Amino acid sequence: MSTTPVMPKRLTDVGPPHYEKYLHPMCKANYGKWKYHESVAPGVLCHVAESGDKLYTVRVGTPRLLSIQTIRQFASLADKYTGGYLRFTSRNNLEFLLTDPANIAPLTAEVNQLGFPVGGTKNSISNIVHTQGWIHCHSAATDASGIVKAVMDPLYERFTHQDLPGKLRIALACCENMCGAVHCSDIAILGIHRTPPHIQKDTLAKQCEIPTLIASCPTGAIRAVPGGNKEVEVIDEQCMYCGNCYTVCPAMTMNDPENDGLSIWVGGKVSNARTSPAFSKLAIPFLPNNPPRWPEVVEAVIKIVDVYAANARKYERVGEWIERVGWPRFFQLTGFEFTRHHIDDFKHAGLTFARSTHIRY
């Protein structure tokens, strides 16, 4: 490490670098003039321009959390094989952009040598988008990176192969704040609390603005103690453990190792292909928080993937498959228990009640 070089003038509000600075020359030359693309192999795409130019993409799975040492290794590989051009995807994959197909095999070999897989294209399980977890977040009900690693290890070949019926997208958020917005994923893993906040009476008055705290509760479960001196109480049965109060007031702590855990959601999507974008629905309301390898969560995700792979038709996403066979069949095939927690009792709950006699026997 060294000291900061002397800066001539303070700069602010410059905004991000202009993307043209970093665009591959072939992307620049064929900007807006691409014709079609095809899959060359799992993790390898070929985009063909109207000009006849061909650009090859080699997609690499990463853990999202990268050291500068690893990024520099990727940069060196880019120098060696792609003229220095690379990009990242919206799912934390890295993409090398190549013009010479002869470089695909040696690049892939070097990437694998470094410990990174090539894949994530077409009907594969692409990388899991996820949140910070215990690495760096104050409100995490569970870790994020650790569960992702534990789940992706046994699903490694689903990343490097593209033989599922359709695309399968997994996401993980470590609390209901959902900075990783997992609510529209084929499979979502969501950290949850199951107990009301613990009020830290000694710090509440110092740290929090009481009216803001009371207003933060979506169900009106927080109220001032009458005649109290900046004190609040929580109506336990009205609390849904969302943690919004904690976000506005640090004295409303949510951590509860014995009761925090994971829930599993299925059948969401964001693409408009065939069916409309959809929310993920509850599959399992609670699994224990069990580091370092979260066996219960891993088992549940693999179960869903396997049952989907064995039963869905070509192109069907998880939600489309369940829509066709019905939720009773989903619970039957996965062996997951259907409980009272699966029936919505929040806003607009009635919309999810079965309002017909269309029942599969």
Partner 1 sequence: MAESNNGNGKHETKLLNELEKGPWPSFVKEIKSASTGNDACDDLLGQLELSYEERKGHWKHGGIVGVLGYGGGVIGRYSDVPEQFPKIAHFHTMRVNHPAGWFYTSDALRTVCDIWERHGSGLTNMHGSTGDMILLGTTTEHLEPTFQELTHAGFDLGGSGSAVRTPSCCVGMARCEWACFDAMKICYDLTEHYQDELHRPAFPYKFKFKFSACPNDCVASIARADMSVIGTWKDDIQVDEAEVANYAAVGFDIQKDVCEHCPTKAISWDGKKLDIINAECVHCMHCINVMPKALRPGKERGAVILIGAKAPIMQGALLSSVLVPFVPADELFETIKELVGRIWDFWDEYGTNRERVGEMIQRVGLPAFLDGIGLDPAPEMVSAPRDNPFIFFQTTKAGEK
Footprint of partner 1 on 120-159 (CB under 8 A): 129, 131-140, 142-143, 145-146, 148-150, 152-153, 155-156, 159
Scanning 181-189, 228-236, 327-335, 353-361 for contacts with partner 1 by CB under 8 A, the matching segment is 181-189
Q: CB of 307: closest distance to partner 1 in angstroms?
A: 22
- Per CB under 8 A, contacts with partner 1 among 80-119 are 84-90, 92, 94, 97, 115-117
Residue nearer to partner 1 on the CB measure, 75 or 225: 75
Backbone angles phi, psi at 348, to 5 degrees: 60, 20
- Per CB under 8 A, contacts with partner 1 among 157-176 are 159, 173, 176
40 CB-contact burial (10 Å; exposed 0-12 / middle 13-18 / buried 19+)? middle
By CB under 8 A, is residue 246 in contact with partner 1?
Answer: yes
By CB under 8 A, is residue 183 in contact with partner 1?
Answer: yes
By CB under 8 A, is residue 201 in contact with partner 1?
Answer: no
Residue with tokens 């489309």: 320
Q: CB of 52: closest distance to partner 1 in angstroms?
A: 14
Total of residues contacting partner 1 (CB under 8 A): 126
Residue nearer to partner 1 on the CB measure, 26 or 307: 26
Length of the chain: 361
Q: What crossing angle do the helices spanning 295-311 and 145-152 adopt, rounded to 10°?
A: 50
By CB under 8 A, is residue 332 in contact with partner 1?
Answer: no
- Pick from 84, 93, 99, 114: nearest CA to 42: 93
Q: Are 318 and 185 in contact (CB under 8 A)?
A: no
By CB under 8 A, is residue 324 in contact with partner 1?
Answer: no
Listing from the earlier edge strand, what are the strands of the sheet with 187-192? 129-130, 170-173, 187-192, 261-266, 281-288
Q: Are 338 and 285 in contact (CB under 8 A)?
A: no
